[in-house]
Structure 1
């Protein structure tokens, strides 16, 4: 067997081939960066998009003594507790992503939701009291008892009509939105006269204290609890998991 060197001499790679391989490598790098960004950004899809707010007329809204509002069928086997501030962007995002899925579960009688409204973002609003006034408006609408009306009003205040930090809605605007959701004239009067504002202020402050206790000193919204267990709402399947 000959040990002489091979006479084969590799042909140099053409510039065209080099450029082509470089282009492929660049495309792969860009794809990796793109998908890494999408993954890291936590971009989520709207759940049950198209369902809308609660539609079952048997669902009730019940204003409770601590200012919370329970939305659901009377015999729902599970009640989630959701802490939110009306001007909190994260709370608006929670409603945007999961509100329709929650509405369907509520309509089906699989769960109820007890909303606890807080007001620590009052200073972030133009008038300095929007969170309190919006909480009072939500209570005024809930006091009518209709789950369908309250759900629609709540959905609107936290999505399409949620003001950005630094702005707010007037009481007249809140009353108009309530009327558009189907609330009776008495609810509108309750909003425009500020009948529940001082009570709402006290109750929202109490909800802040309860939230701090549940989170061991922190007061972050939105926060969702299944009894004492805080739910990870970054997990897109959380609603289905708590109410299959």
Structure 2
């Protein structure tokens, strides 16, 4: 085999070709970034029905159920969905911020009811180690008195504008203040201040977590929304409208 150097000398690339390839590379990079942003959930979502606020129709009731769930809606609502949430869950707060007002209007119109199922597996993310449990207990205290308007205001506030960051929390006094501002009656306020439902929540939450795992084939992710046994894709912007036209 000859070791002599090759007689082939590559032609230098023209400036025009270099610029064209560079431009093509930039376009490809831009497309990759756009698709990654969209598919990765980075696309800024629109707040649905912004300005409506929480439930306003007094015909909407709140009912505390034996397993710790809370049904919110008019008694004759034709469809009930289940929403699994943890009060410390940032994604749950995001869901409520984006779709809570649209859901509130559907509740007011009697097209939909919601059964909230609460889990407390994010307790360790709070500074006290039990915020999720205390917040769920407060939600139950407010629901127990039956007012859907009051419950909706309280739920909306502690999941959106007043939801604590991980590593912090709302104190019992702060939960009580928010409940009072939402219209909670004296029995509800006493229930919160005395922590009357905390032990019950601790007993109920493991069962709710097992229900969530069973519905998700062993996973435990919040928020999770179900129409009977069908999991709803809440990344689809029109999911509320599709459930209750």
Matched residue, 1:134: 135
- Partners of 2:116 and 2:39 in 1: CA distance: 30
Matched residue, 2:88: 87
Alignment of 1:1-244 (within 5 A): 32=31, 35-36=34-35, 38-42=37-41, 43=43, 44-244=45-245
- Partners of 2:223 and 2:159 in 1: CA distance: 12
SS in 2 for 1:210: helix
The alpha-carbon distance between structure 1 residues 230 and 40, as it changes in their structure 2 partners (threshold 3 A), is: closer
Shift of 1:40: 3.1
Question: What's the TM-score, normalizing by structure 2?
Answer: 0.86
Shift of 1:30: 7.7
- Partners of 2:127 and 2:208 in 1: CA distance: 23
Shift of 1:28: 5.6
Q: Which moved more, 1:94-103 or 1:24-33?
A: 24-33
Shift of 1:192: 1.2
Matched residue, 1:9: none
SS in 1 for 2:68: coil
- Partners of 1:28 and 1:230 in 2: CA distance: 37
SS in 2 for 1:164: coil
Shift of 1:209: 1.2
- Partners of 2:226 and 2:26 in 1: CA distance: 44
Question: What's the TM-score, normalizing by structure 1?
Answer: 0.86
Residue by residue over 1:128-158, the C-alpha shift from the partner in whole angstroms, topping out at 9 and shown as x without a partner, is: 1111100000000111111011001000010
Q: Could you list the runs of 4 or more consecutive aligned residues of structure 1 that deviate by over 6 angstroms after TM superposition?
A: 20-27
Where in structure 2 are there 5+ consecutive unaligned residues? 1-14
Shift of 1:39: 2.1
- Partners of 2:24 and 2:50 in 1: CA distance: 38
- Partners of 2:20 and 2:186 in 1: CA distance: 71
Shift of 1:45: 1.1
Shift of 1:189: 1.3
State the Cα RMSD in Å. Answer: 2.1
The number of aligned residues is: 230
- Partners of 2:122 and 2:34 in 1: CA distance: 35
Q: Which moved more, 1:146-155 or 1:201-210?
A: 201-210
- Partners of 2:132 and 2:152 in 1: CA distance: 18
